[in-house]
Amino acid sequence: MKFRTVMTSLALDRSNDACLAVTGDLAQRLGAHVIGIAASDLKPPLYYAEGEQAEAIFHQERTAIRERIDQLEKKFRARLADKSKGLEWRCAIDLSTRFISTQVRAADILVIQVGVEPTDPYSGADPTDLVMATGRALLVVPESMNWLDTRHILVAWKDTREARRAIVDALPLLSLATEVTIVEILEEGSTRPAAQSRLKDVASWLQQHGLSAETLVIDQPEDVTMRLDEVASDAGAGVIVAGAYGHSRFREWVLGGVTRHLVTQQKRCVLLSR
């Protein structure tokens, strides 16, 4: 149960310190190979230009992007050289989300940092897009993190395909935990005995993989995201594992409320899968 290859996404327009710290910690503990990835596309000019003037603007921007990517590669190699089994670098002048969505086929998990400010789509990938598009587990890292706290991992269970996929994808991470708690928040139409029976099955399945877990059923609250935060805080959870939910509209993914909250919150790392 290991992530053999970890891919880490680096943005051009902000610090990547948290992402590199968590990636290095994960790679060192699992003996993993690490692929660094960065991409940025040319931004449309703010004013109309054509001919030589337009070409000069784009040439200047291409040069700036290449220089910034070179800087990121140097920092990536310097920070992770002694923490991984091996390093690889991939980059492109392209939309970051599009480029990463194709290259992540080479990895078991993708690590990405999320900040308080929204991501510039030309300079970095948006985790809300990646979680629905990559087909890989996504480890979302708040910008305040400086290590991967796996002492207690909380699994947010819902009896769906997405949650089942997430817990399978999270097995290597769960193997690092001292404590694991599986929690189900009751929804309308569900009963506590039924939820307890589901969680017992999940805990038994984990036990077959050599992992022990506690279970917890919570009555339906008015605000699910707030209650999930409270449970995670009370447990001292450093990571939440959850399925990602959303639907497509006009070629864009609209995330469910809990998924969007988990992608953007700044308290702990979150492993999402779909």
Alpha-carbon gap, residue 49 to 169, rounded angstroms: 48
pLDDT, residue 16, reads: 95
Q: Helix or strand or coil: residue 142? A: strand
Q: Domains in the chain and their CATH numbers?
A: 5-142 (3.40.50.620), 152-273 (3.40.50.620)
Strand partners, 112: 9, 140
pTM equals: 0.91
pLDDT, residue 127, reads: 85
Those residues with Cβ within 8 angstroms of residue 20's Cβ, 6 or more apart along the chain or in another chain: 8, 10, 75, 76, 79, 80
pLDDT, residue 90, reads: 98
Residues in the chain predicted with pLDDT less than 70, given as ranges, are 44-58, 246-256
Alpha-carbon gap, residue 218 to 120, rounded angstroms: 38
Those residues with Cβ within 8 angstroms of residue 220's Cβ, 6 or more apart along the chain or in another chain: 185, 186, 187, 188
pLDDT tens per residue, range 241-256: 999 876 544 344 445 6
HSE toward the beta carbon, residue 105, CA cutoff 13 A: 4
pLDDT, residue 120, reads: 78
HSE toward the beta carbon, residue 126, CA cutoff 13 A: 16
